Amino acid sequence: MMFTMFHLTRTLAIALAFAAPASAQQPAARIKIDTDRVIGEVDPLLFGNFTEHLGRCIYGGIFDEGSPLSDAAGFRKDVMAATRDLGVTMLRWPGGNFASGYDWTDGIGPRDQRPPRRDDAWGALESNRFGTDEFLTYCERIGVTPYLCINAGLGTVDMARKWVEYCNEPGDTALARMRRKNGRQQPWNVKYWGLGNEIDGPWQLGHKNAEDYATFALEAAKAMRRADESIKLIASGSSNFRPGYDWIGWNRTVLEKLKGEIDYISLHTYIGNPDNKFEKFLAISRDLDDRIEVVQGQIKAAQLTAPNPRPISIAFDEWNVWYRARGGSEFEIGRTGLEENYNFEDALAMSMFLNSFVRHANVVRMANLAQLVNVIAPIFTNKQGMYLQTIYFPLAEYAKQKNRQALDVQVESPQYKPDGGRALGYLDVSATWDPRARTVFLNVLNRSEKMDLATRIANVEGRISPQAGVWQLYHDDLKATHTFGDDRKVRPTEKTVTLAANGNALSYTFPKHSLTILKLKLAD
């Protein structure tokens, strides 16, 4: 009887929490919070980034030898400070498409003796003055976790195995001696290794079908673990979502063959607004959610047939807005390929991605924005200085929510159907919970171009303090951009407000085309 009464009481509480307020004006939307509905912990690695030998990301971006803005090692000090403030937790390197033609041995030893090579991934000349030891030193300097991606295109199993040994071997082997000769006495202890990049894409050097890739990756994984059994491995999952390509079949084959060796399977997605339709642009969250949930199901299916299933997560290790800037084919260092000038609507798209990752925190445990500097990036430099692009600010604010508990919130809002796909609500929402501070962080993207949305925010059990912190990103002009000396137009505002309260619910109006993060304190 007590069991029945408990559930009856709780059901009534939930119903009352989500009921309309006793006022003449109905809210346009409703959000219900229940701190018992925990999805999982927001992994710090969700706030990773990516650096590739492409355009001015490395040379002239994070690494600029001889510049008065660089330190003695050649690292741009202004970029390092901006990266720390961005909250970056992980860096992926050296690619990207570049990885599929890269020989890591070209990038070690005295810089002046390293061989310059053609980069046939991006049509450039690679000096190899920035290599493994420079990258890993950079990660140490800025306090982030390194993630190395092997050459699974034109490379070999033995190249991958030896790279792990060079980085991580503590003993007295030839490769460990070589590392020490190059200035690093102790092992780098690189934990995260990608088994290639976008091998499903026909644009990739060394492109393979699923069966051939899985065979190669399995042998590489086994050999790399012989060099260091403690490493974590990321399989090359779906990146080719072009019509007619069986991306689901690719993942199925990879998971079935590698399920005993890998810790992650990757997904890559780039989005754009070539039609100049704002609401359609921000409806892409349906694809993000669908792809994550399909792969989550595939992981479960693969594990069901394993006697001792290995935990496997999703690494969304390339994602961004990218559709305007495309590279040329000239061979020169420092060319300005893939340099997107981001606007305000692109900044809102950052929250669409991050909301999806948080809503799937139980399976998406790594994500890497592509890329860090200049190349489709939040940080932009020239020889005199740098500026912050519009997308920088939501990335930095969401990163503060790492290690919190992601909550499964219920949302009702007016719906729209911007294309031939299914309808979706104007409010795109995620939430995290800090139980020690008893604070909920409610991340709300209003993707209506013209409509403010009055919203009732209810908590299932307990009162929400009407004093709330508000972080908000809003601009009248969806196309507002930044440039050198003018990067303050699209900036967040922060304030504390007192919201209208009604029992255990509050009211808040989310402005049209805006991102709002409410910091809500719950009563003990």
By annotation, the residues acting in catalysis are 198, 318
Distance CA 285, CA 272 (A): 12
Burial of 33 by CB count in 10 Å (0-12 exposed, 13-18 middle, 19+ buried)?
buried
User: What is each CA distance from 135 to 130, 167, 432, in whole angstroms?
Assistant: 7, 12, 33
DSSP letters spanning 207-242: ---HHHHHHHHHHHHHHHHHH-TT-EEEE-------
Closest alpha carbon to 460 in 407, 504, 429: 504
| Residue closest to 337 by CA, chosen among 366, 362, 371, 307 | 371
Structure-token match 């790399």, residue found: 224
Closest to 454 (Cα-Cα) out of 34, 23, 35, 33: 23
- CA dist., res. 17 & res. 15, Å (int): 5
Nearest to 357 by CA among 144, 50, 48: 48
| Beta strand segments in 135-291, E | 145-149, 192-195, 232-235, 264-271
Q: Are 435 and 493 in contact (CB under 8 A)?
A: no
> How many CB atoms within 10 Å of residue 4?
8
Burial of residue 285 (CB within 10 Å: 0-12, 13-18, 19+) is buried
